[in-house]
Amino acid sequence: MQIPLVCPDGLEVETWSAVQQHIGRLEKASDDKDFPLVIGTAKDLVETVCKIILDVQGEVVADKKVEMSNLLARAHRSIDRKPGIGFAEQSPFKELAQGARTIVMQLSPLRNRFGTGDGRLLGTEVDPEVAYLALDAALLWSRWAVRCLGQILELHPRTLIRDLRSSFFRRGQVRERLKALNLNGLELSFQRSIGLAIAHRAMGGTFLVQEEGVEDCANQSDLDIWPEAYRESLVEGLFFDREGRVNASSWGVGEAIKIIFPHPGAIEVIDQIAIKLDGTDWALEFANDVSEQQKVVETINEGTRNLVVALREEWQKISRILERHREDESTPRYKV
Residue 240 per-residue DSSP state = B
Q: How far apart are CA 202 and CA 325, in angstroms?
A: 24
Q: What is the pLDDT of residue 264?
A: 96
Q: Does residue 191 sit in the same domain as residue 305?
A: yes
Report residue 223's pLDDT band, with 50, 70 and 90 as the boundaries.
very high
Q: What is the pLDDT of residue 332?
A: 46
Q: What is the pLDDT of residue 119?
A: 52
Residue 148 structural domain: 13-154
Q: How far apart are CA 240 and CA 280, in angstroms?
A: 9
- Dihedral sign computed on CA atoms, order 265, 267, 268, 272: positive
Q: How far apart are CA 82 and CA 50, in angstroms?
A: 16
State yes or no: pLDDT of 316 exceeds 70: yes
**241 near 196, Cβ under 8 Å?**
no
Residue 278 lies in a domain: yes
Average per-residue pLDDT for the chain? 86
End of a domain among 108, 123, 154?
154
Distances in Å between the Cα of 78 and the Cα atoms of 51, 53, 56, 98, 184 are: 11, 8, 10, 13, 21
Which range is least confidently modeled, 190-199, 249-258, 319-328? Answer: 319-328
Q: Does residue 130 sit in the same domain as residue 55?
A: yes
Q: What is the pLDDT of residue 336?
A: 33
Residue 56 lies in a domain: yes
Distance of CA 186 to the CA centre of its chain: 11
Residue 180 lies in a domain: yes
Q: What is the pLDDT of residue 95?
A: 76
Q: Does residue 243 sit in the same domain as residue 131?
A: no
Q: How far apart are CA 35 and CA 124, in angstroms?
A: 10
Encode pLDDT of 231-270 as tens digits.
999 999 999 998 888 999 999 999 999 999 999 999 999 9
Q: Does residue 253 sit in the same domain as residue 280?
A: yes
State yes or no: pLDDT of 312 exceeds 90: yes
User: What kind and span of H or E run contains 216?
Assistant: helix 216-218
Encode pLDDT of 117-170 as tens digits.
655 544 567 788 888 988 999 999 999 999 988 888 877 888 898 889 888 999
Residue 164 lies in a domain: no
Residue 235 lies in a domain: yes
Encode pLDDT of 16-42 as tens digits.
999 999 999 999 999 999 888 899 899
Q: Does residue 59 sit in the same domain as residue 116?
A: yes
- Other beta carbons within 10 Å of 140: 16
Q: Does residue 131 sit in the same domain as residue 182?
A: no
How buried is 143 (Cβ within 10 angstroms: 0-12 exposed, 13-18 middle, 19+ buried)?
middle
CA angle at 18 for the pair 16 and 22, rounded to the nearest 5°: 115
Residue 165 lies in a domain: no
CA angle at 189 for the pair 188 and 193, rounded to the nearest 5°: 120
How buried is 241 (Cβ within 10 angstroms: 0-12 exposed, 13-18 middle, 19+ buried)?
middle
Mean pLDDT of 286-305: 91
Q: What is the pLDDT of residue 63?
A: 57
Q: What is the pLDDT of residue 326?
A: 67
Encode pLDDT of 39-90 as tens digits.
989 999 999 999 898 888 777 665 556 788 888 888 888 886 554 554 445 5
What is the total residue count of the chain? 336
Q: What is the pLDDT of residue 242?
A: 87
Distances in Å between the Cα of 283 and the Cα atoms of 207, 242, 275, 291 are: 21, 10, 17, 15
Residue 89 lies in a domain: yes
Calculate Rg over the CA atoms of the chain.
28
Q: Does residue 101 sit in the same domain as residue 205?
A: no
Nearest alpha-carbon partner for 7 in 41, 56, 42, 63: 56
Residue 335 lies in a domain: no
End of a domain among 154, 185, 208?
154
End of a domain among 103, 125, 154?
154
Q: Does residue 184 sit in the same domain as residue 287?
A: yes
Q: Does residue 142 sit in the same domain as residue 227?
A: no
Question: Which residue has better confidence, 219 or 293?
Answer: 219
Number of C-alpha atoms within 13 angstroms, CB side, residue 329?
Answer: 8
Q: Does residue 244 sit in the same domain as residue 315?
A: yes
Question: Which residue has better confidence, 112 or 74?
Answer: 74
Q: Where are the alpha helices (DSSP H) in 59-127?
A: 68-80, 93-104, 107-114
**274 near 234, Cβ under 8 Å?**
no
Q: Does residue 128 sit in the same domain as residue 247?
A: no
User: What kind and span of H or E run contains 274?
Assistant: helix 266-278
Number of domains observed in the structure of the chain = 2
Q: How far apart are CA 295 and CA 33, in angstroms?
A: 75
Q: Does residue 149 sit in the same domain as residue 198?
A: no
Q: Which CATH number goes with the domain that contains 22? A: 1.20.120
State yes or no: pLDDT of 335 exceeds 60: no
Buried b (16+ CB within 10 A) or exposed e, 175-204: eebbeebebeebeeebbbbbbbbbbbbbbe
